[in-house]
């Protein structure tokens, strides 16, 4: 069966000092996969390459979604959702406008925004200021902003990295629920406990993929 996402020998070198790759991997539709590794192992770079925020080095590496080569495609056209560790919310916009930012010009933006906020248990928060929210709530707003665009792949970069353990577990519960509802998710983490919530764990070390294993059920 053809993988939903296929990464073929992608590589990125930084100023002759650190290289990520070449890395090859595949993800099936509906999987939740954790990319696990210590700080500086190349996890975030790998996610940014997939999202299109970084350009892979020349040499034949490809990123394919379905039958579509997206390697040279700009981020907006890839239809991937991205959740960042530091939320990346706009402080001058309220919750609803943050979530609807990518829907500019969409006549159905209000309904879609409300639907996305329901998915993350923030019903009725549209007019709240983001500064009034807890860290966990802000991360859920960031998640809603990614979901409102109906992404074909959700990329989450250390989504619990700035949260306490309770809020971190809440965000992990939401990601698990979204996956159970059919979302395909690749999550970067340095936490083995959070990686253990995924169906599959990819271990990255010094820019290389060193293991790829399904989670062993307890």
pLDDT at 26: 93
Hey, CA dihedral for 163, 165, 166, 169, is it positive or negative?
positive
> What angle (nearest 5°) sits at the alpha carbon of residue 28, between those of residues 202 and 200?
30
Q: Where are the alpha helices (DSSP H) in 89-134?
A: 95-99, 109-119
Binned at pLDDT 50, 70 and 90, residue 1 comes out as low
Hey, CA dihedral for 6, 8, 9, 14, is it positive or negative?
negative
Place of tokens 């099936």: 28
pLDDT at 153: 94
pLDDT at 2: 66
Contact, 59 vs 214, CB < 8 A? no
Domains of the chain with CATH codes: 1-79+152-218 (3.40.50.300), 89-150 (no CATH)
Tens digits of residue pLDDT in 33-48: 999 988 888 899 999 9
Binned at pLDDT 50, 70 and 90, residue 168 comes out as confident
pLDDT at 156: 93
Tens digits of residue pLDDT in 122-165: 999 999 999 999 988 999 999 999 999 999 999 999 988 888 88
């Amino acid at each position: 069966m053809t993988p939903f996402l296929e990464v073929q020998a992608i590589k990125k070198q930084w100023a002759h000092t650190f290289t990520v790759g070449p890395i090859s991997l595949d993800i099936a539709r509906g999987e939740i996969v954790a990319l696990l590794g210590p700080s500086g192992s190349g996890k975030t770079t790998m996610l940014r390459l997939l999202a299109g925020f970084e350009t892979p080095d020349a040499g034949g590496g490809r990123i394919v979604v379905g039958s579509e080569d997206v390697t040279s495609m700009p981020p907006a056209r890839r239809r991937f959702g991205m959740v960042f560790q530091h939320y990346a919310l706009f402080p001058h916009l309220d919750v609803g406008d943050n979530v609807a930012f990518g829907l500019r010009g969409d006549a159905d933006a209000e309904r879609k925004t409300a639907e996305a906020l329901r998915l993350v248990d923030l019903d009725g928060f549209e007019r709240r200021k983001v500064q009034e929210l807890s860290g966990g709530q802000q991360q859920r707003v960031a998640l809603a902003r990614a979901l409102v665009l109906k992404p074909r792949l959700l990329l989450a970069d250390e989504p619990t990295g700035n949260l306490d353990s309770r809020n971190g577990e809440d965000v992990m519960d939401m990601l698990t629920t979204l996956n159970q509802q059919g979302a395909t998710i690749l999550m970067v983490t340095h936490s083995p406990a959070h990686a253990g919530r995924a169906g599959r764990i990819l271990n990255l070390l010094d820019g290389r993929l060193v293991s790829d294993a399904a989670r062993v059920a307890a």
